[in-house]
Chain A
Amino acid sequence: MTPDQMKRRICALEFAQTELVLYLDVHPMDNEARNQWESNAAELEALEHQYTELTGLVWPMRQNHNGGTIDWVKSPWPWDNM
């Protein structure tokens, strides 16, 4: 998986999680939906971990798994890639 594919997968999983949360608000005891939510959450966490190690933070507010540095400032800015 390239970082771009990982990013897309992360976005898709977060969207799916949002939808599942909306469903679980109304059906809190639906085991099938809860299992889906949990497996999505596990995959999301693993993916975010991988992505963070490869490219840096997914979200600036979160802590880096590598040691808590703010290394998104060190990553290339959009004009650096032009």
Chain B
Amino acid sequence: MTPNYFKNNQSSQNRLVPSYPQKQSQAPYKRYASAPARQMNGMANENMWQASTPPSPNTPNAYSPYNGNASTAQQPMPVYSTPSYSQPSASMTEYCMPLAMAWFEDQKYGSTYEPENAMERGTLFPELDKPWLAPKRRP
């Protein structure tokens, strides 16, 4: 199954780089062009520094401006991806697995320290007063 964000639902006018219709079976071309999955949260992927190879438009079809004349055929520009935090890893986006989940309890207003004591302790709230109690290591 293809997740929704792999489907290129941008209109052709908004598209920054030429993209070609891709099937799920064309795995090497999956990261070509600015698919919406690119902008999702993610990690660096292993193909970060490689130019992804776009499919060559050697077959006239409904999506390509190629008219059959090979000498005038416009080759698509290779798209280089730069490392950034907006690069998703294929496996993470493919299976939609969360990296981690955090949970914490809502704080309730109870008794508070006196201001002077709070300044000593570093917090106004006794429930947040968690001093480091591990024994000191000697050098």
Residues of chain A at the chain B interface (Cβ within 8 Å): 8-9, 11-13, 15-16, 19-20, 23, 26-27, 30, 32-33, 36, 40
Contacts and interface: CB of A to CB of B under 8 A. Distances in A.
B116 interface: yes
Contacts of A20: 124
B14 to A, nearest CB: 38
Contacts of A23: 107, 109, 124-125
A33 B125 CA distance: 12
B115 A9 contact: yes
Identify whether the interface residues of A are mostly helix, strand, loop, or mixed.
helix
Nearest to B113: A16
A26 B107 contact: yes
Interface of B: 107, 109, 112, 114-116, 118-119, 123-125
25 contacts: A8-B116, A9-B115, A9-B116, A11-B119, A12-B115, A12-B116, A12-B119, A13-B115, A15-B115, A15-B118, A15-B119, A15-B124, A16-B112, A16-B118, A16-B124, A19-B118, A19-B123, A19-B124, A23-B107, A23-B125, A27-B107, A30-B109, A33-B109, A36-B112, A40-B115
Contact of B125 (A8, A13, A19, A30): A19
Contacts of B114: 12
A70 to B, nearest CB: 29
Contacts of A13: 115
User: B116, B123, B124: which has the most chain A beta carbons within 10 Å?
Assistant: B124
Contact of B115 (A16, A27, A30, A33): A16
B121 to A, nearest CB: 10
Contacts of A19: 118, 123-125
Nearest to A8: B116
A16 B117 CA distance: 10
Contacts of B109: 23, 27, 30, 32-33
Contacts of B123: 19
